[in-house]
Amino acid sequence: MSRVFIALQDNENARFIVEAISEDNPGAEVKHSPAMIRVEADDRLTIRRETVEEKLGRDWDTQELQVDMISIGGNVDEDDDSFTLYWNT
């Protein structure tokens, strides 16, 4: 088992994204530090477009993540509907 993580700038957008992540990934752990939010999980973490759109109340492109994302750990798999971080181990 290994931890994957994503770190986001702590801003208005990120709050909704983190809410969506928590809903879709029940095991995810959210850590707040100054100006930054880090979300960790075992082996796998998925951000789903639909859930984020629901939280934001508007259309959201998975690539918009790039504006607020400051660091990641894990392999990336991205398509129109989701953004996933994972380890193969």
Partner 1 sequence: MNAKTSKRLNMKERYRIMTRDLGWEPSYQRYEDIFPQESFEGIKIVDWDQWEDPFRLTMDNYWKFQAEKERKLYAIFDAVSQNNGQMKISDPRYLNAVKLFITAVTPLEYNAYKGYARVGRQFGGVGARIACQMQSIDELRHTQTQIHAMSHYNKYFGGMHDFPHMFDRVWYLSVPKSFFEDASTAGPFEFLTAISFSFEYVLTNLLFLPFMSGAAYNGDMNTVTFGFSAQSDEARHMTLGLEIIKFILEQHEDNVPIVQQWLDKWLWRGYRLLSIVGMMMDYMLPNKVMSWAEAWTLYYEEAGGALFKELERYGIRPPKYADQTVIGKDHVSHQAWFIFYQYGHATAFNTWIPTAKEMDWLSEKYPDTFDRLYRPRFELLAEKAAKGERFYNNTLPQLCQVCQIPLAITEPDDDTLLSHRDTVHDGERYHFCSDGCRDIFHHEPEKYVQAWLPVHQILQGNCGGADMAKVIGDYYRIEMGEDNLDFEGSAEQRRWAAWKQAV
Tell the smallest beta-carbon distance from residue 5 to partner 1 (Å): 8
Which residue in the set 24, 56, 78, 84 belongs to the binding site for partner 1 (CB under 8 A)? Answer: 78
* Alpha-carbon span 52 to 75, nearest angstrom: 21
Residue 56 interacts with partner 1 (CB under 8 A): yes or no: no
CA atoms within 13 A on the CB side of 64: 16
* Alpha-carbon span 34 to 42, nearest angstrom: 24
Residues near partner 1 (CB under 8 A) are: 2-5, 7, 9, 33-36, 61, 63-64, 66-76, 78-80, 87-89
